[in-house]
Amino acid sequence: MPINGVVFDLDNTLYAYAPCNRAGQVAVVKFLALHLGLPASQVRQAWEASRQTVHKRLAKQAASHARLFYAQGAIELLLGRTDIRLTLQADEVFWSAYLRTMRLRPGMRALLQQIKRWGWRLGIASDLTTVWQMKKLQRLGLAKMFDDIVTSEEAGCEKPNPRMIRLLLRKMQRRSHQVVLIGDSHARDRQVAVACGIPFLQLASNADVSAVRRALTAKQN
């Protein structure tokens, strides 16, 4: 049965995640330190404590990554109460810096265009809330590139739970043996591919896309 679809992971697969997350954190810590009149080190500690608490409480759910919750919790730790206006502003500051730092992985646009020329269907399966994953794709200039998207928020669970991929395959109108899954993570992407019986191609953080391109071309012929 020929391959005629690709399921892509988003974060750290289409672009490098670490510099974006770092830029977001630096910006939000600076913003809160300025507005609260506190040392940056104290704000950074509160942000990290909040992040860990949220991550633990909401493990395996999309909202465990919600910077809105990290900001809310950090502000609550620092002020002893919720500040809605500041929380919303902090979330905005984080994501503005994050999105500004995003760069599409070199060679990725050409690879995606090649896949489309083959007439294959392109899907995204990604762990986070839908609003930010859509904004990321838009920022990368890929708003019209993908045919289908499912996030962990929409699926109600994260990778490697296979439910997210099953929902995406239904949208893509593809069976597992008709697609390839491409992602950066062993624990999430490879595991979910194995669970669903889908061939997996890893795109490690600093790897260029040519090896993946060759592997897909071989499947196309």
- The footprint of Mg ion (CB under 5 A) covers 9, 11-12, 184-185
**Between 4 and 202, CB nearer to Mg ion:** 202
Q: Are 7 and 198 in contact (CB under 8 A)?
A: yes
Q: Active site residue: 11, 127, 148, 189, which one?
A: 11
Least Å distance between CB 194 and Mg ion?
16
Least Å distance between CB 18 and Mg ion?
11
DSSP structure string for 112-132: HHHHHHTT-EEEEEESS-HHH
Least Å distance between CB 65 and Mg ion?
11
Q: Is 147 a catalytic residue?
A: no
**Between 33 and 194, CB nearer to Mg ion:** 194
Tracing tokens 């630096």 back to the chain, one arrives at 26
Q: Is 11 a catalytic residue?
A: yes
Q: How many CB atoms lie within 10 A of CB 60?
A: 12
Cis peptide leading into 106, omega within 30 of 0?
Answer: no
Q: Are 146 and 6 in contact (CB under 8 A)?
A: no
Q: Active site residue: 9, 91, 127, 189, which one?
A: 9
**Between 43 and 179, CB nearer to Mg ion:** 179
Supply the residues annotated as catalytic. 9, 11
